[in-house]
């Protein structure tokens, strides 16, 4: 079987690593790929034009294509593949609006009566500023409605900070066209949780819940990033909680999407806030999250390929067994470049520890330099995932392996999973 994987980051490297572990004889092809992906399968120089991607899939006689990033999904790549009679895993452009437009997602949630933060949508700064001053106050969250590479959310502790964020998004366009529309949103308190769900549009199979760390600094301080690390499982994510999320959030959302004539198939990412009133949706994504994928998939003990193929073929997930998972835990630490997230420095020569069964090094922003030396090529350079018999073992091993990643300006958070560590320590002392 031949699989085409579209993307170039740590998420795609982790997907490929999981598929190779499941099916060693699988023929993997990635575009554009990265140096890590090139050790697992063949890579093809960047092909971004939809017609060229369709032609590549046909020429290579690909059995199924998995689309990693959100941009090609929002641009309608799945629609093009389906029109060409090719099997592809992912949502259509209409369904991908759940991520591509936060305003659209809020409307779907209102229709489906899905618990989420109160929000209002604006196309100009003046009305958004008025909403902050008269109806929201602070703390408050300001969001660019469109795709902003995971960085279009600004949590504001004061009204002045909120007004500055609105002007930066709406007037200065710091997030480009993603800020053509913006949301002023109620600030929610609690812990965040990430849940991946593979769905055929009606039935859904939840994966292992994870917790991401968006802020750049220790203790969740500093600006939001694409994610500085993650861990799985999360002790707060009990079976009862996941059942509740599926019943009150996932199933109503899928029903609402079908009712709109835009059924969602593929991987639905549900970003949750575990508030005192129960789980509420922070955001939906239309693809595997990064870096949660690097923590969740290494824990997978059952097949990823079977449900992916079912969905790509347009078949039902009825009869597919729930996912099963390894014992223990996984902790992923992202090693980032100096200046990340605002102005990351690239081009630094990299030295990496070896990947083993217990420690996986996933390439995120790397490339081969002209002299054949591996160099940094993005803000998040690599993600180091360690598997352990328990959380503490995995956390320590991930931190130690991240310290072995060497390049000028490299930094990482030493406290990935700090809330879980505190929780487990408290449980031991009870």
Of 277, 312, 347, which closes a domain? 312
Query: Could you give the count of Cα atoms lying within 13 Å of 221 in the half-sphere of its Cβ?
Result: 6
Q: What is the mean pLDDT of the segment spanning 166-180?
A: 90
The alpha carbons of the chain give a radius of gyration, in whole angstroms, of 21
Which of 116, 127, 118, 75 is CA-nearest to residue 96? 75
| 427: pLDDT strictly greater than 80 | no
The verdict on residue 87 lying in a domain is yes
| 6-22 pLDDT, tens digit each | 999 999 999 999 999 99
Least confident stretch, 94-108, 169-183, 362-376: 169-183
Burial class of residue 422 (count of CB atoms within 10 Å of its CB; 0-12, 13-18, 19+):
exposed
Q: Looking at residue 52, which CATH number applies to its domain? A: 3.40.50.20
| 202: pLDDT strictly greater than 90 | yes
Q: Are residues 376 and 274 in the same domain?
A: no
**CA diameter of the chain:** 62
Alpha helices by DSSP H, 264-332: 292-296, 305-312
| 426: pLDDT strictly greater than 90 | no
Contacts of 410 (CB under 8 A, 6+ apart): 335, 336, 337, 338, 348, 381
In this structure, the strands spanning 2-7 and 27-32 are: parallel
| 31: pLDDT strictly greater than 70 | yes
Using DSSP's 3-state secondary structure scheme, residue 407 falls into coil
| 87-103 pLDDT, tens digit each | 999 999 999 999 999 99
Q: Are residues 195 and 303 in the same domain?
A: yes
Q: How many CB atoms lie within 10 A of CB 61?
A: 8
| 44: pLDDT strictly greater than 70 | yes
More confident position, 120 or 224: 120
Mean residue pLDDT across the chain: 95
Q: Are residues 302 and 216 in the same domain?
A: yes
The verdict on residue 16 lying in a domain is yes
Q: Looking at residue 131, which CATH number applies to its domain? A: 3.30.1490.20
Q: Are residues 217 and 253 in the same domain?
A: yes
Helices 391-402 and 418-429, packing angle to 10 deg:
150
Q: Are 153 and 165 in contact (CB under 8 A)?
A: no
Q: What is the predicted pLDDT for the residue at 45? A: 86
Q: Are residues 36 and 124 in the same domain?
A: no
The domain tally of the chain equals 4
Q: What is the predicted pLDDT for the residue at 429? A: 53
- Structural domain boundaries, residue 240: 191-312
- Distance between CA atoms of residues 56 and 48, nearest Å: 11
Q: Are 295 and 385 in contact (CB under 8 A)?
A: yes
Q: What is the mean pLDDT of the segment spanning 195-202?
A: 98
Instruction: Say what the pTM is.
Output: 0.94
Q: Are 420 and 231 in contact (CB under 8 A)?
A: yes
| 313: pLDDT strictly greater than 60 | yes
Q: Are residues 294 and 383 in the same domain?
A: no
| 386-411 pLDDT, tens digit each | 999 999 999 999 999 999 999 999 99
149 alpha carbon, distance to own chain's centre? 10
Q: Looking at residue 418, which CATH number applies to its domain? A: 3.90.600.10
| 99-139 pLDDT, tens digit each | 999 999 999 999 999 999 999 999 999 999 999 999 999 99
Q: What is the mean pLDDT of the segment spanning 344-368?
A: 96
Contacts of 243 (CB under 8 A, 6+ apart): none
Q: Are residues 162 and 244 in the same domain?
A: no
Reading the block at residue 335, the tokens are: 């090693």
Of 140, 156, 186, which closes a domain? 186
Q: Are residues 301 and 333 in the same domain?
A: no
- Distance between CA atoms of residues 342 and 224, nearest Å: 10
The verdict on residue 81 lying in a domain is yes
Q: Are residues 269 and 306 in the same domain?
A: yes
Q: What is the mean pLDDT of the segment spanning 50-67?
A: 96
| 237-287 pLDDT, tens digit each | 999 999 999 999 999 999 999 999 999 999 999 999 999 999 999 999 999
Query: Could you give the count of Cα atoms lying within 13 Å of 179 in the half-sphere of its Cβ?
Result: 21
The verdict on residue 257 lying in a domain is yes
- Distance between CA atoms of residues 69 and 199, nearest Å: 17
Q: Are residues 224 and 333 in the same domain?
A: no
Name the DSSP letter for residue 406: B
Query: Could you give the count of Cα atoms lying within 13 Å of 339 in the half-sphere of its Cβ?
Result: 12
Question: Across the strands, what pairs with 88?
Answer: 65
Count, residues in the chain? 430
Q: What is the predicted pLDDT for the residue at 46? A: 76
Of 186, 203, 235, which closes a domain? 186
| 82: pLDDT strictly greater than 80 | yes
- Distance between CA atoms of residues 166 and 330, nearest Å: 37
| 54: pLDDT strictly greater than 60 | yes
The verdict on residue 201 lying in a domain is yes
Contacts of 370 (CB under 8 A, 6+ apart): none
Which of 188, 192, 169, 191 is CA-nearest to residue 180? 169
Q: Are residues 201 and 174 in the same domain?
A: no
In this structure, the strands spanning 140-144 and 182-186 are: antiparallel
| 130-169 pLDDT, tens digit each | 999 999 999 999 999 888 776 788 899 999 999 999 999 9
Peptide bond into 307 cis (omega under 30): no
**DSSP states along 211-244:** EE--EEETTTEEEE-S-SEEEE--TT--HHHHHH
Q: What is the predicted pLDDT for the residue at 47? A: 75
Q: What is the predicted pLDDT for the residue at 224? A: 85
| 177: pLDDT strictly greater than 90 | no
Q: What is the predicted pLDDT for the residue at 406? A: 97
Question: Across the strands, what pairs with 116?
Answer: 281
- Distance between CA atoms of residues 54 and 68, nearest Å: 16
Q: What is the predicted pLDDT for the residue at 325? A: 98
The verdict on residue 96 lying in a domain is no
The verdict on residue 99 lying in a domain is no
Q: Looking at residue 265, which CATH number applies to its domain? A: 3.30.470.20
% residues pLDDT > 90 (the chain): 90
Reading the block at residue 350, the tokens are: 């990299």
Which of 209, 220, 146, 132 is CA-nearest to residue 179? 146
The verdict on residue 109 lying in a domain is no
Q: Are residues 307 and 365 in the same domain?
A: no
């Amino acid at each position: 079987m031949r699989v085409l994987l579209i993307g170039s980051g740590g998420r795609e490297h982790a997907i490929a690593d999981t598929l190779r572990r499941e099916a060693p004889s699988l023929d993997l092809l990635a575009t554009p790929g990265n140096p890590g992906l090139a050790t697992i399968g063949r890579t093809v120089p960047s092909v971004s034009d939809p017609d060229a991607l369709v032609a590549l899939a046909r020429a290579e006689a690909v059995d199924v294509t998995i689309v990693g990033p959100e941009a090609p999904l929002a641009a309608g790549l799945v629609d093009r593949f389906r029109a060409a009679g090719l099997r592809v895993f992912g949502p259509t452009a209409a369904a991908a609006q759940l991520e591509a437009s936060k305003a659209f997602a809020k409307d779907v949630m209102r229709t489906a009566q899905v618990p989420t933060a109160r929000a209002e949508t604006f196309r100009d700064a003046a009305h958004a500023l008025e909403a902050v001053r008269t109806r929201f106050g602070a703390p408050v969250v300001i969001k660019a409605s469109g795709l902003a590479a995971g960085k279009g959310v600004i949590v504001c502790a004061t009204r002045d900070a909120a007004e500055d964020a609105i002007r930066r998004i709406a007037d200065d366009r710091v997030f480009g066209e993603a800020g053509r529309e913006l949301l002023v949103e109620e600030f929610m308190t609690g812990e965040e949780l990430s849940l991946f769900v593979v769905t055929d549009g009606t039935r859904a199979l939840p994966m292992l819940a994870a917790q991401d760390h968006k802020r750049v600094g220790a203790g969740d301080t500093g600006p939001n990033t694409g994610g500085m690390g993650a861990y799985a499982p999360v002790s707060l994510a009990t079976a009862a909680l996941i059942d509740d999320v599926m019943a009150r959030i996932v199933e109503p959302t899928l029903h609402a999407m079908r009712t709109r004539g835009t059924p969602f198939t593929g991987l639905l990412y549900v970003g949750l806030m575990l508030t005192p009133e129960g789980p509420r949706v922070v955001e939906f994504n239309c693809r595997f999250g990064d870096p949660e994928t690097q923590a969740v998939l290494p824990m997978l003990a059952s097949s990823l390929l079977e449900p992916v193929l079912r969905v790509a073929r347009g078949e039902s997930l009825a009869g597919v067994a729930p996912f099963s998972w390894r014992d223990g835990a996984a902790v992923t630490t992202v090693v980032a470049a100096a200046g990340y997230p605002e102005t990351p420095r690239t081009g630094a020569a990299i030295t990496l520890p070896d990947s083993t069964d217990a420690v996986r090094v996933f390439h995120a922003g790397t490339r081969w330099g002209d002299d054949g030396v591996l160099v940094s090529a993005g803000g998040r350079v690599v993600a180091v995932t360690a598997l352990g018999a328990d959380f503490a073992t995995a956390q320590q091993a991930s931190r130690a392996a991240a310290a072995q990643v060497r390049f000028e300006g490299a930094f990482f958070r030493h406290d990935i999973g700090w809330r879980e560590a505190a929780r487990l320590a408290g449980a031991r002392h009870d």
